[in-house]
Amino acid sequence: MNALRYIWLALAIWGAIHPMYYFVTYMMTNGGGLGALIDAWYVNASTTGLVWDLTIAAITLTIWIIAEVAVRRNWIALLAIPAIYCIGVSCGLPLYLFLRSRPVT
């Protein structure tokens, strides 16, 4: 595995753990529910803009992954799509780059 693949993998792990720390901390201090977290995403124009920015990025990345998988037949790269929506773009994008950069046989 080359150095760039290690970087993609490290960023995917960081992108899964670091943001999740803040999400879990917020949910624990505000009743433990996902509903409170989602409500917090829309408390002002700044957070709403950020939610839409990440939503558009997630949709764009999903379309890109599907288009490339259709051409490259690198089916394992589809694992990045659930990571995008269950964890976040900060995990899904580097995970996809990690999976995409492996030698395809």
Residue numbers of the domain that contains 58: 3-100
Residue 15 has pLDDT above 80, yes or no: yes
Is-above-0.85 flag for pTM?
A: yes
Q: Where does the pLDDT of residue 92 fall: very low under 50, low under 70, confident under 90, or very high at 90 and above?
A: very high
Specify the pLDDT at position 16. Answer: 96
Task: Give the number of domains in the chain.
Answer: 1
Q: Which residues of 19-52 are buried (b: 16+ CB within 10 A; e: fewer)?
A: eeeeeeeebeeeeeeeeebeeeeeeeeeeeeeee
In a domain, 52, yes or no: yes
In a domain, 105, yes or no: no
